[in-house]
Structure 1
Amino acid sequence: MHILGRALMLALAIGAMAQAAAQDQSATLQLLVAVLEPGGQLAPDPKCSRKDVICLDPPPFWLKANVIATLYGQSGPAYREIHGSSHYGMQQFAGPPRPSLLLARTEGARTVMLRNRVAGLTADKAGTLFLIGRRSGYPGWLPCTIEKMQEELAEADFDDEDMTILPDDFESAGVDANPEHFRRTARGAMPRYGIRMARLAEYIAQRSNAGLPPTCSS
């Protein structure tokens, strides 16, 4: 399914569930589902020009973002620039655009992605977006209890190329170290669990209504 079709389906599915969380006008944190594409480089940190400072990261950058849904925080423009920095620079966003889950904060009119707080999403054959459990679980910057929202994945529901982990990649993917999180397949293995974005939106809204953030602080 085309990426825009998936985006529309997701927005319709989770919009009502995310509404309560998105209405918090005082929130500076935002948990977003967005399609991200490389934009350009920003000016480097002035401290990096000093002789006594060594900067290992590439310069900060901005991304072109099509925000599909705001799961937490105040909603903003659907199309916007999102600023960020990373040890890998913009190269991690190269290739065909795909939806991602990211934690950001607003700084006036700017949206800034928190460092390394981004995770790619995978669509099943029906176009439903999932956060897939990788290695030993889910990103540590999401709520600590997020696993209660997961479900077991069926191999037939996903494109083979999106989910298959070949034997040569078992070590780097953590298949042997965390066998309970994977299922063996004819070609190798695949992640066993994932979380639908609609269920994540519902959970984040429940936490927001209880005064809890979209992170692992409590």
Structure 2
Amino acid sequence: MLLSLIIAAKIASSQPPKEFPKFDRKTAQPIVLKATLEAGAYLPESPECSRPIDKDGKLGFICMDPPPFWVSAKRLLPVYGDLDANSILLFTTSHYGMERIIDSPQAKPRLLLVLRHGDDYVMPRYAQAIVLTSRSGEDFIPYSDSMPIWWLPCSVADLRIPLDPQDFPSQGWSDFYSVKAFPKFGIPLKKISEQLARLKPSAAQITCGHEI
């Protein structure tokens, strides 16, 4: 009997998720990690998106996004927060769909902000950045004044340093910059980890003035 229950539990846990987790994000546990992403699956579209045209011929709701989805995130390096699992199912949304954020064989890992609530993990919309690794093995995220990192504390921007393209393998960053222009600045992941350890931000405090 016990064996049957264990088998049933394993089967149940292996079933793909069917709905997007809903919880108060401000009370969630914030986790920042370096990870690779692999394709998962789209979730059912919101019922609002399939609302029929009313009797006057008016459509009450139009969804411009693809449905929400989940991907598999494989942890490579913890930066902030506790995460024992080596891989998690990560839920998020994107106007461009899943294909724009999953890793191809040539793609680099990413730095992610993850909100944890029990066994549910949600990445706020677009809360991720490409990770560049130097020839010496140090990790950076590109930084541009025109595209601030809204999903980390504002003070993280002060950690930026100039980057020299010669310090990085060409096969590692050129795939992400179609004009073959290397980012002028980067922020070391080590410095981000140290800053977050000092600040100890909650989920409600971790962004640079943005709602999560």
TM-score by length of 1: 0.69
After superposition, what is the alpha-carbon deviation per residue over 1:145-192, rounded to whole angstroms, capped at 9, x for unaligned? 222212221221112244459x984xxxxxxxxxxxxxxxxxx64212
**Match of 1:95?**
104
Query: Are the counterparts in 1 of residues 69 and 98 from structure 2 also a CA contact under 8 Å?
Result: yes
Supply the AA of the counterpart residue of 1:157.
D
Q: Extract unaligned runs of 5+ from structure 2.
A: 1-26, 53-59
The answer to whether the aligner puts 1:198 opposite 2:210 as a matched pair is no
- Within the candidate set 69, 92, 101, 1:61 is matched to 69
State how 1:45-60 maps to structure 2 within 5 Å. 45-51=46-52, 52-60=60-68
Query: Are the counterparts in 2 of residues 81 and 111 from structure 1 also a CA contact under 8 Å?
Result: yes
What is the CA-CA distance between 1:86 and the residue it aligns to? 0.6
- Secondary structure of the residue aligned to 1:35 is strand
- Within the candidate set 137, 141, 146, 1:136 is matched to 146
**Paired residue total:** 175
**Match of 1:20?**
none
What is the CA-CA distance between 1:211 and the residue it aligns to? 11
**Match of 1:85?**
93
Q: Extract unaligned runs of 5+ from structure 1.
A: 1-25, 170-187
After superposition, what is the alpha-carbon deviation per residue over 1:43-99, rounded to whole angstroms, capped at 9, x for unaligned? 222221213221111111111111223433332412111011110111112522531
Say if 1:112 and 1:56 are closer, same or farther in 2 by CA, change over 3 A. same
Query: Are the counterparts in 2 of residues 31 and 214 from structure 1 also a CA contact under 8 Å?
Result: no
- Secondary structure of the residue aligned to 1:115 is coil
After superposition, what is the alpha-carbon deviation per residue over 1:84-140, rounded to whole angstroms, capped at 9, x for unaligned? 111011111252253111222123311011111111111112332110113625422
Say if 1:168 and 1:207 are closer, same or farther in 2 by CA, change over 3 A. closer
Query: Are the counterparts in 2 of residues 62 and 84 from structure 1 also a CA contact under 8 Å?
Result: yes
TM-score by length of 2: 0.71
Say if 1:108 and 1:45 are closer, same or farther in 2 by CA, change over 3 A. farther
- Secondary structure of the residue aligned to 1:200 is helix
Query: Are the counterparts in 2 of residues 86 and 116 from structure 1 also a CA contact under 8 Å?
Result: yes
Supply the AA of the counterpart residue of 2:31.
Q
State how 1:1-218 maps to structure 2 within 5 Å. 27-51=28-52, 52-92=60-100, 93-96=102-105, 97-134=107-144, 136-163=146-173, 169=179, 189-208=181-200, 213-217=205-209
> CA RMSD for the aligned pairs?
3.0
Q: Which whole-Å CA distance do the structure 2 matches of 1:61 and 1:168 have between them?
A: 27
Query: Are the counterparts in 2 of residues 47 and 53 from structure 1 also a CA contact under 8 Å?
Result: yes
Larger radius of gyration: 2
Q: Which whole-Å CA distance do the structure 1 matches of 2:48 and 2:117 have between them?
A: 21
Supply the AA of the counterpart residue of 2:67.
P
**Match of 2:57?**
none
Instruction: Give aligned-pair identity as a percent.
Output: 32
